[in-house]
Amino acid sequence: MNKIIPKPWGQETLLTESDLPYTAKILTIKAGCQLSLQYHDQKTETLTLISGQVILTIGTDQNNLTTSPMVSEIGYTIKPNTIHRLSATTNSLVFEASTPEKGTTFRLADDYHRPNETK
C-alpha cells in the first residue's frame, strides 16, 4: 500500500495500513520548506534521513531548542511532548517509523497557518 498525501512542504507517502500498531512513511520535503514546529501528545516517532540535507530542531522547552543537521542513516527518536521541526535545505527524503497516528499534533509555529490536528 502506498498512499500519497500532499502537504504544503512536499508530501507524505504512507507505506502501511492504518489498522496496524505502527506507521511507516516517507516524507518528501522540498528545498527551502519546513514542517511545523510541533509536538505530539501521544505519538512516538523515529526519523531517518534518506537523502538531501535536513536541519532538525528539537527540545522539550520552546525557549531552549537545539538545531543540528541530520546525519543520513541515523535514527532520531522523538518521544511524546518533544518539540521538533524538520527544515530542508535541499530536496530531501526522510523515513518515519512511528506509533499510530492518534492524539493531537500541537503546532507552535507553522509557515502555512494550519491549526492543531487531532486524529
- Quick: pLDDT tens for 12-21: 999 999 899 9
- Site of grid cell 492518534: 102
Q: What is the CATH number of the domain that holds 49?
A: 2.60.120.10
User: Would you place residue 102 in the very low, low, confident or very high pLDDT band (cuts 50, 70, 90)?
Assistant: confident
Cα(65)–Cα(37) distance, rounded to whole angstroms?
11
Cα(47)–Cα(78) distance, rounded to whole angstroms?
8
pLDDT score at 119: 81
Alpha-carbon distances of 28 from 36, 42, 60, 73, 90, rounded to whole Å: 14, 23, 25, 16, 11
- Quick: pLDDT tens for 33-81: 999 999 999 999 999 999 999 999 999 999 999 999 999 999 999 999 9
- Quick: pLDDT tens for 13-46: 999 998 999 999 999 999 999 999 999 999 999 9
**Which domain does 41 fall in, by range?**
3-118
- Is 96:105 a contact under the CB 8 Å cutoff? no
The number of distinct structural domains making up the chain is 1
- Asked if residue 1 has pLDDT above 80, the reply is no
